[in-house]
Amino acid sequence: MSNAIIPLLLDSLASAALIFFAAVGLTLVFSVLRVLNVAHGSLYSIGGYAAASACLFIASQQLNPYLSFAALLLSAVFVAAIFGPLIERSLVRWTYGKSEAVQILITFGLFLILEDLQRLIFGVQSLYEDAPMRLLGTSSIGGVVYLNYQILLVGMAVLVVVGLRLLINHTRLGRLFTAVVTDREMAQSIGIDTNRIFILAFSLGVFLAALGGALSTPTSGIAPGLGADTMVLAFAVAAIGGLGQIEGAAVASLIVGLARVLAIYLAPSLDAVAPYAAMLVVLLIRPYGLFGSVTARRI
């Protein structure tokens, strides 16, 4: 088993990166809007479909394959630009200040609509385009061949954590987010356009969800049903980290990634329950999650 320690750690990091991308958008939206967006998983898979379609178009037109990296990013921007303002203005804004049950019912309805919409547009077969994965090649580490794309994803996850922290702490937009999170009414009374902040925050959440879906596509393709699985895992990670806590989501992703990988290496039959067992243990000890608190919420 000693020869498996390096692969185990690397797999944990790679797995955590993918899990983090699935969860960070959900936690960001909750921190600013205080809305638990059940349709988050669908937005993740729409990002995947958009990226796969763009990469397939590049391949079919025999364009420079390196354009597929740009396509991954731009497809997430495209999805966020379309769906972010549309969903926030048409549905989510009606749920502000309402009970969690109303929020969950409305976003769950949206989830069902988006899932069927994807099926109508993209059909039931899987879509694949793995050019970004192939272009980066492989590396042998600890006797195991890894995709360099997996390592890139770890780097991207770190970049997103650092980028979000910089955005929130060192930009005007971040300070506006913080003001709205701290006291919505006070922010409104001093002239902050909270409607605009909500649109921007929700669209940023959609972008992160779509980016997660787009980045996962080169290795795992995209198929119907991905949205529901992603949603459940994202909730578990958000709960472990503390709802609304970005660094919490990062640490929770590491915990869940490590739990899953340990299960696969040591007790494969526990693979499916490992993330939820980790959630149970954390919530028993810290009911508000690792970084959550009862009184004050921070981004």
Instruction: Identify which of residues 265 and 288 has a Cβ nearer to another protein in the complex.
Output: 265
| Smallest separation, CB 18 to another protein (Å) | 7
Interacting residue ranges for another protein, rule: CB under 8 A: 3-4, 7-8, 10-11, 14-15, 18, 119, 124-126, 128, 130, 133-134, 138, 143-147, 150, 216, 219-226, 229, 260-261, 264-265, 268-269, 271-272
| Smallest separation, CB 236 to another protein (Å) | 14
Instruction: Identify which of residues 138 and 178 has a Cβ nearer to another protein in the complex.
Output: 138
| Smallest separation, CB 261 to another protein (Å) | 5
Instruction: Identify which of residues 197 and 237 has a Cβ nearer to another protein in the complex.
Output: 237
Between the alpha carbon of residue 13 and those of residues 17, 20, 150, 253, the distances in Å are 6, 10, 9, 9
Neighbours of 65 (CB within 10 A): 15
Instruction: Identify which of residues 34 and 260 has a Cβ nearer to another protein in the complex.
Output: 260
| Smallest separation, CB 291 to another protein (Å) | 26
Instruction: Identify which of residues 178 and 219 has a Cβ nearer to another protein in the complex.
Output: 219
Instruction: Identify which of residues 176 and 259 has a Cβ nearer to another protein in the complex.
Output: 259
| Smallest separation, CB 76 to another protein (Å) | 18
| Smallest separation, CB 61 to another protein (Å) | 20
